[in-house]
Amino acid sequence: MDMSGDRDIFEFSQRLLGEPQPMPDAADLMPDWLPDDGFDQPPVPAAVLIALVRRNAGYSVLYTERSSALRKHSGQVAFPGGRIDAEDHDAAYAALREANEEVALNPQDADILGYMPYYFTGTNYFITPVVAVVDPKAPFVANPSEVERVFEVPLDVIASEQSYSTFRIHHRGQERRSWQLQYDGHTIWGITANLTRRFRDSVIGTGVDS
């Protein structure tokens, strides 16, 4: 399926939420996996940016590989994003702020299309995925204190069912599963792969392969 046109992007926007979902009561939240000891703190609001980058060859989606020096999730592939700070106006502001800090994405180059439903993690993060079209006027540059490298995956690859497989990890006698994508030497799994698959199914739409 050729997804290079702005018409496709307009259709995506019709399938997104116009506002971020409010956080329900913590007791009503179900994480993607349940930690052994549960949670002893309130959920942490966070936002990630699913950036649809406009290129001459068509649209692609922006990913980062986290620095190996980070204490948590080092070396993993992630969307730009992080905690929503008290001074952030909303989830979109936080996602663009983090993208600017991590990869020098200029917020003025981004046009917010909408929001996906929240994703609650087993690490107690309440994530709002923010979807935006990005028309970059300058190259993305990895902040070495946070990001090892920046890469993009063509939207056609993300739209294809054949791009996905299942990733399994065993921890304390339990098996956890996530979606997995491999592209150009990068392995996307865990929360990032699950959000990518949700984006594929609910925003790009099923039955997209030609």
Express each pLDDT in 25-51 by its tens digit. 877 888 777 666 667 788 999 999 999
Q: Which residues, other chains included, contact 113 with Cβ-Cβ below 8 Å and sequence gap of 6+?
A: 9, 12, 13, 16, 52, 131, 132, 133
The reply to whether 58 falls in a domain is yes
The reply to whether 144 falls in a domain is yes
Tell me the C-alpha distance between 207 and 170, whole Å: 32
Kindly report, residue by residue over 83-130, the tens digit of the pLDDT: 999 999 999 999 999 999 999 999 999 999 999 999 999 888 999 999
The reply to whether 13 falls in a domain is yes
Look-up of token digits 């299309």: 113
Stated pTM of the model:
0.89
Strand partners, 64: 78, 150
Residue 130 · residue 89 · CB < 8 Å: no
Residues 40-49 as b or e (16 or more Cβ within 10 Å = b): eeebebbbbb
Kindly report, residue by residue over 12-32, the tens digit of the pLDDT: 999 999 999 999 887 788 877
Q: Which domain holds residue 12?
A: 6-21+43-155
Specify the CATH number for the domain of residue 87: 3.90.79.10
Please check the confidence at residue 63 and state whether its pLDDT lies above 70.
yes
Residue range 183-193: mean pLDDT, rounded: 92
The reply to whether 119 falls in a domain is yes
The reply to whether 116 falls in a domain is yes
Helix or strand run (H / E) with residue 144: none
Q: How many domains would you assign to the chain?
A: 1
The reply to whether 99 falls in a domain is yes
For the chain, the helix, strand and coil percentages under 3-state DSSP, each to the nearest 5: 25, 35, 40
Cα Rg for the chain, rounded, in angstroms? 17
Residue 168 · residue 159 · CB < 8 Å: no
Tell me the C-alpha distance between 138 and 30, whole Å: 40
DSSP secondary structure letter of residue 163: G
- pLDDT value of position 3: 54
The reply to whether 177 falls in a domain is no
The reply to whether 127 falls in a domain is yes
